[in-house]
């Protein structure tokens, strides 16, 4: 009973496939009655065009590929939300791949995704990615490409990012204005663009208030389970910060956990601000002020741009651009974490 095709309709109605096709897409001049008949019958038998045949014909898959480091990461799952939102509205499928923060897997994903003939690619770089030749390959193939969130200076491409500099600047400034001076910065691997941009914001804020920059107050933390704990203990014991600016839910939570073990009270001894998304962070760490990451909007914007690129709807789509999505600061005043 399945898979009713144009051919079936044509046969049933004693028409040619071309007539049916025209009737279905309404376009060409066609006898109103014939058209009506076809439409009714098609509706009755629940006809829907075979997207695979369409793809073959148009040499398009109406699919966009997405490569992210980790789907079970609040930032990326929200970003994917935004991507799917736009993609579905505009008639595209989304296929998702994870690099699991591995450069090699990222390359494999890129190859796989190219072989699968997606119409365009959205990518957020792994924590290990330094070389971007796999992305240059994509550009060489004229495959529409948009980098989001974790981008690279080494490639000229369309990019959608959060305004990390501004967010980090405001975060640091907020801590300074609360009277803190020994402000530590616990952040993601130094290879990442987001780390670099945030570090610049942090440094610039220190400069503005003439607080000397001390490298030992900045800790880059990878994705291994144990890594953060050690590093944070170390930081707190040696540098004795009076504030910490962290850059993700995970790092913020790791910090809180460490502080709890050390019996250090927040925000009395330590003041906090982080780049986070998670409501969880707010719920359990009421003293954590936050620079809200515009994950959903980044996803939406990146997808919108990519689809425009694919469909060449934007005249100025050819000239590269980097879109910065603003962040929002949420200040928490409660002090009842203990």
Partner DNA sequence: TTGTACGCGTTATCAT
Partner DNA sequence: ATGATAACGCGTACAA
For binding to a second copy (CB under 8 A), which residues are involved?
A: 1-3, 48, 50-53, 55-56, 59, 61, 71-74, 77-78, 80-81, 84, 88, 93-98, 112, 115-117, 140-142, 249, 253-254, 256-257, 260, 278, 280, 283-286, 336, 338
| Interface stretch with DNA, choices 1-9, 118-126, 292-300, 306-314 (CB under 7 A) | 1-9
Residue 117 or 240: the one with the smaller Cβ distance to DNA is: 117
For residue 276, what is the DSSP state?
E
Widest pairwise Cα distance in the chain: 86
Closer Cβ to DNA, 33 or 318, answer by number: 33
CA distance 24 to 15: 13
What backbone torsions phi and psi does residue 186 show, to the nearest 5 degrees? Answer: -105, 120
Give 11 or 208: the residue with its C-beta nearer to DNA: 11
- Write out the H or E segment, with its range, that includes residue 333: none
Contact 128, 150 (CB under 8 A): no
What Cα–Cα distance (Å) separates residue 2 from each residue in 5, 8, 46, 47, 53?
9, 11, 10, 10, 16
From CA 15, how far away is CA 141, in angstroms rounded?
42
Rounded least distance, CB 289 to a second copy, Å: 17
111 binds DNA (CB under 7 A): no
Binding-site partner at residue 28 among DNA, a second copy, none, CB < 5 to 8 Å by type: DNA
Say which DSSP state 106 is in: H
Among a second copy, DNA, none, partner that 330 touches (CB below 5 to 8 angstroms by kind): none
Q: Are 307 and 88 in contact (CB under 8 A)?
A: no
| 222 makes contact with DNA (CB under 7 A) | no
Answer yes or no whether residue 44 interacts with DNA by CB under 7 A.
no
* Contacts of 329 by beta carbon, 8 Å cutoff, 6+ apart: 167, 170, 171, 174, 289, 290, 291, 292
User: Which of DNA, a second copy, none does residue 74 bind to, with CB < 5 to 8 Å depending on kind?
Assistant: a second copy
Closest CA to 317 of 170, 142, 152, 192: 142
Q: Would you say 46 or 210 has its CB closer to DNA?
A: 46
Phi and psi angles of residue 302, each rounded to the nearest 5 degrees, phi first: -65, -45
* 312 lies in the site for DNA, by CB under 7 A: no
Q: Which does 280 bind (CB under 5 to 8 A by kind): a second copy, DNA, none?
A: a second copy
Q: Please, which residue, 141 or 313, has the CB nearer to a second copy?
A: 141
**Under DSSP, is residue 26 helix (H, G, I), strand (E, B) or coil?**
coil
Q: Measured from the CB of residue 18, what is the shortest distance to DNA in angstroms?
A: 3
Among the listed ranges 48-56, 106-114, 122-130, 223-231, the one in contact with DNA (CB under 7 A) is 48-56
The minimum distance between CB 54 and a second copy, in angstroms, equals 9
Residues at the contact surface with DNA, assessed by CB under 7 A: 3, 5-7, 14-19, 21-22, 24-25, 27-31, 34-35, 49-50, 53-54, 56-57, 59
């Amino acid at each position: 009973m399945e898979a009713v095709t144009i051919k079936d309709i044509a046969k049933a109605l004693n028409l040619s496939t071309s007539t049916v096709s025209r009737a279905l897409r309404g376009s060409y001049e066609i006898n109103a009655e014939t058209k009506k008949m076809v439409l009714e019958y098609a509706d009755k038998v629940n006809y829907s065009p075979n997207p695979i045949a369409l793809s073959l014909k148009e040499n398009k898959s109406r699919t966009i590929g997405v490569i992210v480091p980790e789907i079970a990461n609040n930032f990326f799952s929200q970003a994917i939300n935004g991507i799917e939102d736009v993609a579905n509205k505009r008639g595209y499928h989304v296929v998702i791949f994870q690099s699991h923060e591995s450069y090699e897997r990222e390359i494999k994903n890129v190859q796989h995704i190219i072989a699968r003939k997606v119409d365009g690619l959205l990518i957020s770089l792994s924590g290990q990615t330094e070389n971007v030749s796999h992305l240059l390959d994509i550009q060489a193939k004229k495959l529409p490409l948009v980098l989001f969130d974790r981008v690279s200076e080494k490639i000229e491409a369309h990019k959608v990012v959060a305004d990390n500099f501004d967010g980090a600047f405001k975060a640091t400034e907020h801590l300074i204005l609360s009277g803190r001076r020994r402000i530590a910065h616990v952040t993601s691997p130094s290879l990442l663009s987001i780390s670099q941009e945030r570090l610049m914001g942090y440094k610039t804020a220190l400069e503005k208030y003439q607080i000397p920059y001390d490298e030992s107050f900045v800790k880059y933390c990878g994705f291994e389970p144990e890594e953060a704990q050690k590093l944070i203990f170390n930081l707190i014991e040696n540098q004795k910060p009076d504030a910490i600016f962290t850059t993700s839910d995970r790092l913020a939570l790791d910090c809180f956990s460490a502080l709890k073990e050390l019996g250090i009270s927040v925000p009395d001894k330590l003041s906090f601000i982080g780049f986070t998304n998670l409501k969880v962070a707010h719920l359990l760490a009421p003293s954590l002020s936050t620079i809200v990451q515009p994950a959903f909007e980044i996803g939406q914007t990146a997808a919108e741009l990519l689809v425009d690129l694919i469909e060449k709807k934007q005249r100025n789509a050819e000239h590269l651009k980097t879109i910065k999505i603003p962040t929002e600061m949420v200040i928490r005043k409660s002090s009842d974490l203990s």
